[in-house]
Structure 1
Amino acid sequence: MLEERKILTREKRTNAVTAYQGSKKELQAVTADQEIQQRIRTFSQDKKDEVYEALRLLSEIGDTVVIVHGVVGTAILETSLIHGQEQPIWYSTNLDERDTILGSDEKLRDTVRRAYEKHQPKAIFILGTSVVAINNDDISTVILEMQEELPVKIISIYTDGFKSKAEINGIDIVLHALAKYILAEYGEKINIVDIISITESRKNLGELERLTGRLEIKCNIIPQFSCLDDITKAGRAEAAIAVNSDEAEVLLSGLQEKSGVKSIISRVPIGIEGTAAWLSALGDTFKSADRAHAVIEEEERFFAEYLKNKPFAGKKVFIALPIRPAAELALFLRGIGFEISGISAPYIDSLNKDALEILPDDLFIKIGGGQPFELANILGKIKPDFYIGTDGSAAWTAVLGIIPISVSQMTLYGYKGAAELIERLRQAQTANEFGNYLYKNDSLPYKTSWLKKSPDWYVKLEVK
């Protein structure tokens, strides 16, 4: 894999599906063949692309500068990626019409020089955009020239924004570059574990770090919220475990290929069963199985009453998260009484379709990122009591009379996450005055004629 200049898109490499609506059983049939007949959207609304996801992940790595090679409008996406007080360092080459016709090599050189002279970073990432890809600008030649001039690693991130409909492809491209150019080769191992985090919040990682500490295992969390040295030295670890193995697959493979770091494949640590499986996998690998069993027993005592009394029996919930976390969360919510009305996930492919096994055959599943107009149609027909998703999608569901729960600013993973989610659900159920006000006084901007149609109206089989 690391010998390749570019990694293949998810559609070609893992048969990713980015448009589907129907039952879980039908989806399994769709993804069973080696060559999938793709579905496409003839109309699309509010969807992230691979450039956005690559930019988001690069923004979480310290000691680096990101240069967005394209028009300034693409770089302005960065303002939505700032977390708290930690502002990432980024530049735009700010291409204009003349640059797109005559070439933009000189602007790129100047931007690289300015970025290095001002910040002295340990690495500079040059992020490709659709304008540069269409013009076929030769970024590699510029990098070779600048690498001789400046004592810093300069790495191209080969995103273009239109060759893949799966936004996770941007994450794959970044992880491939990190594995190829940043990871160092190590032979002798030390007793630590690399925890691969791609999209999890600091709160979630804090809980997983707490649980790993209870097993007396030291951890190195990469690439999110890490510095370049943390990634460089990741090859020293005895093993690596991902929070979500589907998202982290490229880096796990890179660690194995370059430094012989063993990959621990486990379930996503959400809910009681998922967290126990994650801890058990760690304990087995690091010869701490007895300690892991004791920690699991102690932590789970808190939830015995909830699992016995099922406080949310009769309530329905719709989940909008990536497929692995969504499936694990659905399993936990069913354990405390919920009926799962449906799941919305951005994509499904050969790396994560096994997550469907724990879901009911007749469960409704929507595949595709964004598309709030489809979700509004679906939710209006299903009418769940609760909606669990991220900030961007959860806010407007209150207008439909659904109680929204956003997981963006809370702990969802581990035992603390399970406890916090139960408490958040109880509070939202008893104090939903604002949601009731929105339901009575506001409406979504979609015509009745659309809401009466089938929500998969714009999803069609691709014709080649």
Structure 2
Amino acid sequence: MSKLTEDLTYDYLSAEAAPTREERIGACNAFGGSCQSLKVGMGQGCTKYNSRKFAQGGGCQLSLALGIVRSFQNSVTIIHGPLGCASTNLSVAGVTKTARILKQKQGTDNVWIHTNLDENDVIAGGIDKLRQAILYAEKEYRPDAIIIGNSCVPGIIGDDIDTLLDELDGQIAAKVVPVHCEGFKSKFVATGYDSAYHGVLKKLVDPVKKYDKVIPDEVADAREKYILSKTVNLLNVGSTSYGDEVELSRLLQALGLNVRVLPLYASIDEISRIGEAALNISICATHDDYLTGHLKERFGTEYVIDTLPIGIKNTNQWLRTIAKFFQLDSEVEQLIALETAQLEKALEPFKKAFKGKTVFVGGGETRIFTTAEFFQSLGMKVLGLKPHNFDRFAVPMIDDIDDPDAVIDVAPGQPAEELNVLNRLRPDLYVGHTGAHAWVTKLGIPTVPLFGQSFNYMGYSGAFELARKAAKKLKNTSFSKKISANVLLPFRPEWYESNPFDNIKEFDNIDNIKEAHIKEAQG
């Protein structure tokens, strides 16, 4: 729907696997400097910010891909790889179970199998183990779908899972979905989302036929039909809570739209009919652009992907874009006026706690920019941001940050880098992705989670909850102070004295950026 999406072409389903994000979109995952310098570089088409002399750690594409496919109802997930590749399933078992109970009218167990490849399999190949696992899953569970997550090891040794699936064709009643998410192929962990949706689009979305990017002439009539029906797909992601889905569905239903929340935790039948909608509504471009782009080319379905509905400004923008498609401009303005007035009144008591305070936000690119803009609207100053990656979808969001000299550290993982930045900036509040809070608390900085399955973050009610949590944390900072006073920092003092971006081949000097902040504070 936005200008950013018009230039992208999605023509990849004839291949066995999705292309890497290095090939597909302009992006970077290694940059340190100011928001302004990154924007200028990206605006000039510079995507070379992808090299580090040393990398501490990053994400796993298999984990991101499994986060989507393992949620499907009445499905079995087979993790083809060594035992360690299946370990993340244990860590998210509780979250997945809770989400299934909340989001499914009829809950089903999260069933997964791993092929447990060992040293002998690395030499002889693991196809026989995978064949046994597929046949076992079919016989034991009779699922609607069997989904195979292909990890790094079988990708390196050359296990041909697609040929195996051709061999088993006709022997398996379930739809078998290969997901090629070998992490060594790309530096961008978000490629895992593309890998999952590549398999889903090829094997689960009806009509299951040879990919044809030519949209039939009847699509105009179909579009009118679906506009009249006002059926929309609200595309959920792993970080959206049940409360988020309820809030966003409430707002869309207030406009008279028929809302279907999917694909996570949906049935295979619901996923097969994902093309039967007037509009696909994304809440995360990083997560959804591969899916929405292909659905438009196959079915002619338009999509909204230009922001994430966190805070007043971005929720309003999200709703207006959706309403414009259905020609509901007057209706959406009435809804926005009512909701905004109520929210601003509810937020007023918190603004005193935020006045003059500073914040640093780390996590997924679209989520951190919209979250930072919201705290900025409450009177806080954004000192810095740490996106996992940065691409064309986030470029316009830089303009929402008032301070062009705000630090930006583009890094998947890299906690040492982030802690060095935070130790220099010393924000009053840190809002960040799962896994970072224990590290940050040791610096004595209060933290608020960027998302959570038990809380509402999106829409108008989500804005209130996010402000309430942050104000509560700023009111009582004794926990983080006591942790800092009694727990050693995880790195040597010499590291905190060095430039945190020295390991990045393209960077700005953070000392100059910090000096600009100090001068501004001194007037």
- Both structures adopt the same fold (TM-score exceeding 0.5): yes
Aligned pair 1:180/2:202, yes or no?
Answer: yes
Q: Which shows bigger deviation, 40-49 or 116-125?
A: 40-49
> In the TM superposition, what is the alpha-carbon distance from 1:298 to its structure 2 partner?
1.0
Structure 1 counterpart of 2:69, which letter?
A: L
SS at the partner of 1:194?
strand
Structure 2 counterpart of 1:279, which letter?
A: L
Structure 1 counterpart of 2:241, which letter?
A: S
Give the Cα–Cα distance (whole angstroms) in 2 for the partners of residues 352 and 181 of structure 1.
31
Q: Which shows bigger deviation, 46-55 or 134-143?
A: 46-55
Q: Which residue of 2 aligns with 1:93?
A: 115
Aligned pair 1:407/2:450, yes or no?
Answer: yes
> In the TM superposition, what is the alpha-carbon distance from 1:308 to its structure 2 partner?
10
Give the Cα–Cα distance (whole angstroms) in 2 for the partners of residues 121 and 296 of structure 1.
44
User: Is contact 1:215–1:292 with CA below 8 Å preserved after alignment?
Assistant: yes
User: Is contact 1:65–1:125 with CA below 8 Å preserved after alignment?
Assistant: yes
User: Is contact 2:61–2:191 with CA below 8 Å preserved after alignment?
Assistant: yes
Q: Which residue of 1 aligns with 2:294?
A: 254
Which residue of 344, 354, 357 maps to 2:399? 357
Gaps of 5+ in 1: none
> In the TM superposition, what is the alpha-carbon distance from 1:379 to its structure 2 partner?
0.5
Q: Which residue of 2 aligns with 1:73?
A: 84
Q: Which residue of 2 aligns with 1:395?
A: 438
Which residue of 226, 233, 237 maps to 1:194? 233
Which residue of 288, 298, 318 maps to 1:278? 318
Give the Cα–Cα distance (whole angstroms) in 2 for the partners of residues 120 and 16 of structure 1.
41
> In the TM superposition, what is the alpha-carbon distance from 1:30 to its structure 2 partner?
2.5
Which residue of 385, 401, 410 maps to 1:367? 410
User: Is contact 2:419–2:439 with CA below 8 Å preserved after alignment?
Assistant: no
Q: Which residue of 2 aligns with 1:303?
A: 343
Give the Cα–Cα distance (whole angstroms) in 2 for the partners of residues 436 and 99 of structure 1.
51
SS at the partner of 2:275?
helix
Structure 1 counterpart of 2:236, which letter?
A: S
User: Is contact 2:359–2:430 with CA below 8 Å preserved after alignment?
Assistant: yes
Give the Cα–Cα distance (whole angstroms) in 1 for the partners of residues 15 and 230 of structure 2.
31
> In the TM superposition, what is the alpha-carbon distance from 1:309 to its structure 2 partner?
8.7
User: Is contact 1:67–1:93 with CA below 8 Å preserved after alignment?
Assistant: yes
Length-normalised TM-score, structure 2: 0.84
Give the Cα–Cα distance (whole angstroms) in 1 for the partners of residues 82 and 177 of structure 2.
19
User: Is contact 1:9–1:163 with CA below 8 Å preserved after alignment?
Assistant: yes
> In the TM superposition, what is the alpha-carbon distance from 1:461 to its structure 2 partner?
5.1
Give the Cα–Cα distance (whole angstroms) in 2 for the partners of residues 266 and 447 of structure 1.
42
Structure 2 counterpart of 1:339, which letter?
A: K
Percent of aligned pairs sharing the same letter: 27
Gaps of 5+ in 2: 1-10, 101-108, 208-218, 508-523
> In the TM superposition, what is the alpha-carbon distance from 1:180 to its structure 2 partner?
2.3
Q: Which residue of 1 aligns with 2:132?
A: 110
Give the Cα–Cα distance (whole angstroms) in 1 for the partners of residues 189 and 34 of structure 2.
23
Aligned pair 1:241/2:281, yes or no?
Answer: yes
- Report matched runs for 1:286-435 at 5 Å: 286-305=326-345, 306=347, 310-311=351-352, 312-359=354-401, 360-409=403-452, 410-435=455-480
Give the Cα–Cα distance (whole angstroms) in 1 for the partners of residues 475 and 36 of structure 2.
36
Structure 1 residues 352 and 247, CA gap change in structure 2 (3 angstroms): farther
Which residue of 190, 201, 220 maps to 1:168? 190
> In the TM superposition, what is the alpha-carbon distance from 1:23 to its structure 2 partner?
0.6
> In the TM superposition, what is the alpha-carbon distance from 1:63 to its structure 2 partner?
2.0
Runs of 4 or more above 6 Å deviation:
none
> In the TM superposition, what is the alpha-carbon distance from 1:175 to its structure 2 partner?
1.3
SS at the partner of 1:237?
coil
Length-normalised TM-score, structure 1: 0.95
Q: Which shows bigger deviation, 133-142 or 76-85?
A: 76-85
Aligned pair 1:40/2:40, yes or no?
Answer: no
Aligned pair 1:124/2:169, yes or no?
Answer: no
Q: Deviations 1:168-195 (Å, cap 9, x if unpaired)?
A: 0000111122222222249563421011
Structure 1 residues 378 and 436, CA gap change in structure 2 (3 angstroms): same
Q: Which shows bigger deviation, 337-346 or 258-267?
A: 258-267
Give the Cα–Cα distance (whole angstroms) in 1 for the partners of residues 112 and 349 of structure 2.
51
Q: Deviations 1:6-47 (Å, cap 9, x if unpaired)?
A: 221111111221111101111123223446324322322342
Which residue of 45, 61, 70 maps to 1:59? 70
Aligned pair 1:440/2:472, yes or no?
Answer: no
Give the Cα–Cα distance (whole angstroms) in 2 for the partners of residues 60 and 389 of structure 1.
24
Structure 1 counterpart of 2:318, which letter?
A: W
Give the Cα–Cα distance (whole angstroms) in 2 for the partners of residues 43 and 52 of structure 1.
23
Q: Which residue of 2 aligns with 1:156?
A: 178
Give the Cα–Cα distance (whole angstroms) in 1 for the partners of residues 165 and 61 of structure 2.
22
User: Is contact 2:350–2:468 with CA below 8 Å preserved after alignment?
Assistant: no
Give the Cα–Cα distance (whole angstroms) in 2 for the partners of residues 217 and 289 of structure 1.
14
Structure 2 counterpart of 1:246, which letter?
A: T
| Root-mean-square deviation over aligned CA pairs | 2.0
Give the Cα–Cα distance (whole angstroms) in 1 for the partners of residues 120 and 365 of structure 2.
44
Q: Deviations 1:142-199 (Å, cap 9, x if unpaired)?
A: 1111122111211111111111111100001111222222222495634210111223
Q: Which residue of 2 aligns with 1:28?
A: 39
> In the TM superposition, what is the alpha-carbon distance from 1:284 to its structure 2 partner?
1.9
Q: Deviations 1:55-112 (Å, cap 9, x if unpaired)?
A: 2222222221111111111111211222144452111111111111112221111000
User: Is contact 2:363–2:450 with CA below 8 Å preserved after alignment?
Assistant: no
Structure 1 residues 35 and 5, CA gap change in structure 2 (3 angstroms): farther
Q: Which residue of 1 aligns with 2:16?
A: 5
Q: Which shows bigger deviation, 157-166 or 190-199?
A: 190-199
Q: Which residue of 2 aligns with 1:49?
A: 60
Give the Cα–Cα distance (whole angstroms) in 1 for the partners of residues 40 and 313 of structure 2.
27
SS at the partner of 1:216?
coil
